[in-house]
Amino acid sequence: MKSIDSTLRDMPDIANEDRPSVAGKLEWVGMNDIEMPVRLEDDQGNLIQSTARVTAYVNLIDPDVRGIHMSRLYLHLDQAFQERPLTPGTLRQLLSSFLDSHKGLSDRALVRVDFDYVIRRKALESDNVGWRRYPVSMIGILEGQEFSMEMGLEVLYSSTCPCSAALARQLIQDQFAKDFAAAGPVDFKKVHEWLGSEEGILATPHSQRSAAELRVKLTPMFQMFPIIELIDEVENALKTPVQATVKREDEQAFALLNGRNLMFCEDAGRRIQTVLNDDERVLDFWARCTHYESLHPHNAVSVSTKGIKGGYVAGAGTPVRMDQTIS
């Protein structure tokens, strides 16, 4: 009777031993939707854990080899994420291990990690705190000794239509003229009460939840991913991020923020474009602002990029770079 070790040694290895029926090089080979827990630091330096979906790819440069060693990619992933938190250094070491385990087969590796970054956010006015979830993607590519990083984010915010606000103000003015034109001198108390009534403020502009989807190519010159820094940068530019815990005083403050920051999707796109253009950590970016219109059954959308040669293409769909198309 054969031992277990002997049985394993006698197992066929088709990917290595068989030649492909059709020869050819492949841009990417690997796995996606790998379930994997990841750890990373929050803005206070505390380790937090999230459940991720991971993509692991290498290219196949030998046209006569039938397949890569997919199990090696998984084992390297599992080891890396068990031993170390998710950092730029972790991604680079992981990609190096992919290539080391595929010598002669691959000279380019990619890993993408999709997870939810969950943090506590303070309310606008009250002392309450609530949880916010931000979908995040980390993408690392290693080609030879050249390492590049990209990060994807989604930030939710509220947008109030400037056109709708102007039309609502006009109706309020018309109603004021109708109610007070023949009254002679205007009584302050009556006007004050009128302004607080539904009869006076008879029209309101339409607002909607909106989303800013970002893909940024980062300089590989920092130890930790600037997740919260970029989230804060975008939310501060838009000024109306959605809220978690809301009491009446918070809702009133939110109404004031919306009234002071009327914006079309074009305005939102330009605000984000400005802050990312000025951010030295960002080599390139793609940003799509989608306003889920309450007036229409369709959405209003703007797309912008940094506009550099060979960079992101400002298509209407998912971002595309000249050197990779993993979405």
- The CATH number for 71's domain is 3.10.270.10
Q: Which residues contact 57 (CB under 8 A, 6 or more apart)?
A: 28, 29, 30, 31, 109, 110, 111, 326
Do the Cβ atoms of 144 and 161 come closer than 8 Å?
A: no
Domain membership of residue 169 (yes or no) is no
CA-closest candidate to residue 110, choices 148, 83, 153, 137: 148
Q: What mean pLDDT value characterizes the chain?
A: 90
CA-closest candidate to residue 303, choices 273, 263, 277: 273
Q: Sheet holding 47-60: strands in order across?
A: 26-41, 47-60, 108-122, 129-143, 146-160, 207-218, 282-291, 300-305
Domain membership of residue 216 (yes or no) is yes
User: Strand, coil or helix: what is 189?
Assistant: helix
Reply yes or no on whether the pLDDT at 139 is more than 80.
yes
What is the per-residue pLDDT for 121? 95
What is the per-residue pLDDT for 183? 67
Reply yes or no on whether the pLDDT at 210 is more than 90.
yes
What is the per-residue pLDDT for 96? 97
Domain membership of residue 196 (yes or no) is no
Domain membership of residue 226 (yes or no) is yes
What is the per-residue pLDDT for 24? 87
Domain membership of residue 201 (yes or no) is no
What is the per-residue pLDDT for 13? 65
Tell me the pLDDT band of 4, cut-offs 50, 70 and 90: very low
Domain membership of residue 131 (yes or no) is yes
What does each C-alpha distance from 311 to 80, 217, 230 come to in angstroms? Answer: 30, 9, 20
Average pLDDT over residues 220-247: 93
- What does pTM read for this prediction? 0.87
pLDDT digits (tens, 9 = 90+) for 248-300: 999 999 999 999 999 999 999 999 999 999 999 999 999 999 999 999 999 99
pLDDT digits (tens, 9 = 90+) for 36-75: 999 998 767 788 899 999 999 999 999 888 889 999 999 9
Of the listed ranges 1-15, 39-53, 201-215, the least confidently predicted one is 1-15
117: which strand partners? 134
Reply yes or no on whether the pLDDT at 6 is more than 80.
no
281 CA to centre of own chain: 16
What is the per-residue pLDDT for 151? 96
Determine the Cα–Cα distance for residues 31 and 56; give it in Å rounded to an integer: 5
What is the per-residue pLDDT for 277? 96
pLDDT digits (tens, 9 = 90+) for 264-276: 999 999 999 999 9
Reply yes or no on whether the pLDDT at 308 is more than 50.
yes
26: which strand partners? 60
Residues in the chain: 327
Domain membership of residue 187 (yes or no) is no
Domain membership of residue 14 (yes or no) is yes
Determine the Cα–Cα distance for residues 260 and 277; give it in Å rounded to an integer: 24
CA-closest candidate to residue 136, choices 153, 118, 156: 153
Number of domains in the chain: 1
30: which strand partners? 57
For residue 41, give the amino acid letter.
Answer: E
Give the domain extent around 119: 4-161+206-305
CA-closest candidate to residue 53, choices 116, 8, 114, 112: 114
What is the per-residue pLDDT for 323? 45
Determine the Cα–Cα distance for residues 160 and 208; give it in Å rounded to an integer: 7
Determine the Cα–Cα distance for residues 84 and 231; give it in Å rounded to an integer: 24
Q: Which residues contact 120 (CB under 8 A, 6 or more apart)?
A: 129, 130, 131, 132
